[in-house]
């Protein structure tokens, strides 16, 4: 019924409780979850979760806020993106929130890393999972510049595609992302009392361009705020969106799951996964 489009089950506070979390997901009717990679060092752990569980999937990427980690080359991303059950590139993007004594000009390494991920998405055709915080202008500008557009019978379309995850920006940023062909994903933040502006954005974003997520182990929704988050809590995000849109929770669950399938269109059936695994082994 529900799909959690962004979680971090490889993080210690969740990985150590994985059997419990999977049971809670089943009880909450959360059928699937996308496990997000934030460093190359953790990729094997993230990917193994997807390989070992039929309802989990994986991305490959290096979070913009991670320093002192292996810097990804295009080949690093492409090699890992070719593996079974890897369905997206990221999370990637820009984060200027913790500049400290640095300036935006000092964050050129983040912008270079972001461009590498965009190129990987263009090359593979996989969607980007974009994180942006205090950096929306540059995030959008680089996406327009590096994402590129193809012509076709229906007019220009973005070469790069994907989702702006855990959205906390303005309606103007949401409109720009939608105009670029991207989806918008909402997290438990949408349930916070102080998040009236994010609820206004959710009212603006069409349901057919919307995903839901937990970003667990962070940002547990009300009524679980302050607890360790998990994919089993994503129905509370759907419930808040249902209230905003005047829909049933089931309608939101169905629409956002269909949207997930449309965007992450490498989500394979088990027989197809076995075939792909065999081809990789033979190669």
pLDDT in tens, the chain (283 residues): 999 999 999 999 999 999 999 999 999 999 999 999 999 999 999 999 999 999 999 999 999 999 999 999 999 999 999 999 999 999 999 999 989 899 999 999 999 999 999 999 999 999 999 999 999 999 999 999 998 776 556 566 677 899 999 999 999 999 999 999 999 999 999 999 999 999 999 999 999 999 999 999 999 999 999 999 999 999 999 999 999 999 999 999 999 999 999 999 987 433 343 444 444 444 4
DSSP letter string over 178-217? HHTT-EEEE-GGGGSTT-HHHHHHHHHS-GGGEEE---BT
Quote the pLDDT of residue 269: 37
pTM: predicted TM-score of the whole model, two decimal places: 0.91
Quote the pLDDT of residue 100: 87
CATH assignment of the domain containing 47? 3.20.20.140
**Domain containing residue 97:** 2-282
Quote the pLDDT of residue 277: 45
Quote the pLDDT of residue 157: 61
How many domains is the chain built from?
A: 1
Residues 64, 91: Cα–Cα separation, whole Å: 8
Instruction: Using the structure block, give the residue that is written with the tokens 């496990």.
Output: 35
Residues 43, 68: Cα–Cα separation, whole Å: 16
Instruction: Tell which residue, 146, 88, 136, has the closest CA to residue 116.
Output: 146
Q: If phi over 0 gives left and psi between -120 and 50 gives alpha, with beta otherwise, what is residue 54?
A: alpha
Quote the pLDDT of residue 236: 98
């Amino acid at each position: 019924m529900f799909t959690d489009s962004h979680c971090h089950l490889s993080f210690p506070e969740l990985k150590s409780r994985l059997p419990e979390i999977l049971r809670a997901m089943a009880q909450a009717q959360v059928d699937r979850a996308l496990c997000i990679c934030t460093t190359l060092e953790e990729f094997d752990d993230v990917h193994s979760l997807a390989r070992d569980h039929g309802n989990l999937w994986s991305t490959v990427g290096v979070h913009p806020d991670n320093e002192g980690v292996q810097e990804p080359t295009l080949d690093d991303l492409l090699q890992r993106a070719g593996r079974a059950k890897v369905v997206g590139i990221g999370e990637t993007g820009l984060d200027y929130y913790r500049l400290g004594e640095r300036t935006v000009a000092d964050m050129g390494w983040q912008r270079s890393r972001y461009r590498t991920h965009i190129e990987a998405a263009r090359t593979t055709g996989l969607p980007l999972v974009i994180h942006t915080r205090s950096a929306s202008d540059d995030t959008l500008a680089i996406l327009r510049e590096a994402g590129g557009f193809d012509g076709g019978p229906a007019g220009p379309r973005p070469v790069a595609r994907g989702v702006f995850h855990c959205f906390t920006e303005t309606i103007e940023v949401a409109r720009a992302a939608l105009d670029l062909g991207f989806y918008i994903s909402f997290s438990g933040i949408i349930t916070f009392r102080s998040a009236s502006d994010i609820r206004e954005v959710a009212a603006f974003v069409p349901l057919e361009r919307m995903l839901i997520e937990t970003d667990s182990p962070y940002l547990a929704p009300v009524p679980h705020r302050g607890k360790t988050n998990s994919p089993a809590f994503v129905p509370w995000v759907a419930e808040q969106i249902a209230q905003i849109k005047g829909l049933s929770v089931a309608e939101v669950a169905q629409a956002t799951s269909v949207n997930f399938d449309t965007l992450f269109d490498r989500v394979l059936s088990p027989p197809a996964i076995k075939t792909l695994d065999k081809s990789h082994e033979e190669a």
